[in-house]
Amino acid sequence: MTTKQPNIGNMQAGYAKKRKIANIAVYVILSIMVLIWIFPIAWLVFQSFNGEKGVALATFFPKTWTFDNYIKLFRQEGLSDPMDPTSPMIVLPVDRMPFPYGRWITNTFIVAVFSCVISTLIILMVSYALSRLRFKSRKMLMNFGLILGMFPGFMSMAAIYNIMEIIGLGKQLFSLVIVYSSGAGLGYQIAKGFFDTIPRSLDEAAKIDGATRNQIFWIIILPLSKPIIVYTALTTFLGPWADYVFVSYFMKGDDQKYTVAMGLYEMLKPETMHEWFTVFCAGAVLIAVPITILFTIMQRFYVAGVTGGAVKG
């Protein structure tokens, strides 16, 4: 009695066909998800070139196209006499931008850069210490920091605001830098995981050569840690760049101290939304450009930092 041998070729062809169908289904689903994700972004970009006022929900493409919305963002508040612009006697307001967008970008950039530098240094130093040093209560300290990091920062806004007022830093950009940087050490997990992947033999060899722990960190470890440095810098820069919660609480009432997130929100108030919505769209597009370029350039380092830091905990 003979048994029928399976046809290996038919099995492989059937498997390849099923795999092809599965891949097509996955690509179709992903394409639909991409369209859903990109649709509001594209609509926002198109509305930033809309020559008509108000929210045009019924149209995806503007009926009239213009660059005026971008020009208005940086138009200074001007005063002039229509008869004699040099005359100091009569001063009348002309076409002006009531929202100081240029000032908002400057404030945002200052806060984000200083917060990024300070936070990155704190995170890297704390992470290296927890990765290399062994001391009493180290595990408890790490667990305590992990638990604290689970609580949202805005829960402490009232207390932080009162403290800043007491020490004379109320409604100051420097106070925002302090707020964004003070809890940076709690975000040690990814950087510590990355430092754990660097062989300890490098530290031991440097110690034999007479290097101090400080020299090992700055001269040997950091040059090998470009991916995690880029990852940490990007994440610490992005937080202050896009934050609205703390700015709305700390700087409320002083539009010269607003960051872009708070300033753009002011354009969406009921009394200003119809007049300035398309300008808001232009401002939202401009504020997204630096982050997009930064992530595009640093993407490979960002991914390497995430994957490297996820190897160990």
State pLDDT tens for residues 106-161.
999 999 999 999 999 999 999 999 888 888 888 888 888 888 878 777 777 888 88
What's the predicted TM-score (pTM) here? 0.78
CA distance 208 to 66: 67
Q: Which two tokens stand for residue 208?
A: 């034999």
For 43-81, the pLDDT digits (tens) are 889 988 988 887 776 677 888 888 888 888 887 543 333
**Residue 287 CB neighbour total at 10 angstroms:** 20
Phi, psi of 50 (to 5 degrees): -75, 130
Q: How much is the pLDDT for 32?
A: 94
Predicted confidence band of residue 30 (pLDDT cuts 50, 70, 90): very high
Place of tokens 């009921």: 270
Q: How distant, in Å, are the alpha carbons of 32, 37, 76, 153, 304 from that of 27?
A: 9, 15, 49, 39, 25
Q: Are 251 and 258 in contact (CB under 8 A)?
A: yes
| DSSP letter, residue 216 | I
Residue 273 CA to residue 20 CA, distance in Å, equals 50
What are the structural domains of the chain? 101-309 (1.10.3720.10)
Among candidates 215, 283, 241, which has minimal Cα distance to 107? 241
Among 12-26, 118-132, 157-171, 183-197, the range of highest mean pLDDT: 118-132
